[in-house]
Structure 1
Amino acid sequence: MSHTQQKDEKSTEKEVASEKLNNDSINQYQIRPSIGNSFPIASIREIINEILLQTLDGKEYTCSEVGAWCRQIVDGINMRIKSLEIPRYKHIVQTMLAEQTGAGSRYIARCHWDASCDSKVSEQYKSETIICIVTVFGVYQY
């Protein structure tokens, strides 16, 4: 191998290493969502309301069906949120469904998170016999 060929191979190796370095710098560590990529609260609120109406509208509270309704609500919301393909966010769906008896109730959720990028959406459905509260938590993955 001649001296010129060795120089050409070294310069090619340097170019490949430089290109790899440039490609790696594109995939930088993000500690905040980029502008416009935050948790889409309005879209998720619409999804929750649609699923609640589809599942519970016109139904009367029946203890034996509550478990199936909760699974249907949570699965429907999960599938629709996954279809949004929100980058770097994980979501949790929590549902509380109870009989509406006229007594007051209180629903509280407490979280320890980064308020600048994590978020939640909560909606409720009420009828004469059913009350349902759905909360979706969106947590940004660093």
Structure 2
Amino acid sequence: AVPIDAQIILVGDEDQLPSVGPGQVFKDLIDAKVIPRVNLTEVYRQQDGSSIIELAHKMKLGQPIDITERFHDRSFIPCTAEQIPDLVDKVVSSAVKKGYDMSDIQVLAPMYRGSAGIKRLNKVLQDILNPKAEDAREIE
């Protein structure tokens, strides 16, 4: 039970993908316009001058984008799903050899399973950035 004077704060992004299951409670609450809401507009996850911010804004506005155009902070490499783990390995290993810090590297994947999924790519990235130590115990 919740006390009668309790306040509930809901945090979410109305521009995210819709709910996977039935219903869309968060979107319905936003659309109802009967509860106070605050829109956060400042981007903190990307640096100033990031092409990713511009790309996201264009997508949100339904404007055409060219993901193949190269920028200093992102690139597009055409390949099959099966080639992605090896390409991620090559690109990230190269970045590490050039002196990039782990916090400078970001890999995005649209799914959990499969050869290009998060689970597979996390294993590839762990082997590069945080390899198993023979003398250390590890939680799996």
Scaled by the length of structure 1, the TM-score of the pair is: 0.23
Higher share in helix:
1
Higher share in strand:
1
Q: Which has the higher contact order (CA 8 A, sep 6+)?
A: 1
Scaled by the length of structure 2, the TM-score of the pair is: 0.23
